[in-house]
Amino acid sequence: MPSQRAQRVGETIQQEISALLLRGLKDPRIGFVTITGVEMTPDLHLARIYYTVMGDEAARKASAAGLKSSIPFIRQQLGRQLRMKYTPDLIFQYDSSIEYGSRIESLLRDVHVPESDD
């Protein structure tokens, strides 16, 4: 379980990156990306950023490449905004939990429960 400080820093990083995406990074490959969470290491040197993308597989791959190439710029902006001694390394990881949840929901809808005569 992450420490309170790591959790607070992660939430702040999530807000800052979300704001950067709303203002628009200049990389045209980055589509409609939503940051779903940030997981920090206890020493605050690494941030794993979970994201989702609206669109198909091609849009997901393009956004992943755009985010990866934008890491130096994002780290620079985080350093300016957060004023931390050390700006954490960033790893963007696609969050498939929404797709997984939708698939489970679809399967549950398809299951037909026989009605009893009682």
User: At a CB cut-off of 8 Å and minimum separation 6, what does 27 contact?
Assistant: 66, 69, 70
Q: What residue segments make up the domains of the chain, in order of their start?
A: 4-109
Q: Is the pTM of this model over 0.75?
A: yes
Does residue 118 surpass a pLDDT of 60? no
Contacts 24+ apart (CB under 8 A), 34-43: 36/95, 36/97, 36/98, 37/10, 37/95, 38/10, 38/11, 38/13, 38/14, 39/2, 39/10, 40/2, 40/6, 40/7, 40/9, 40/10, 40/13, 40/88, 41/6, 41/88, 42/2, 42/3, 42/6
CATH superfamily of 4-109: K homology (KH) domain (3.30.300.20)
pLDDT digits (tens, 9 = 90+) for 39-58: 999 998 999 999 999 888 89
Mean pLDDT of 70-89: 89
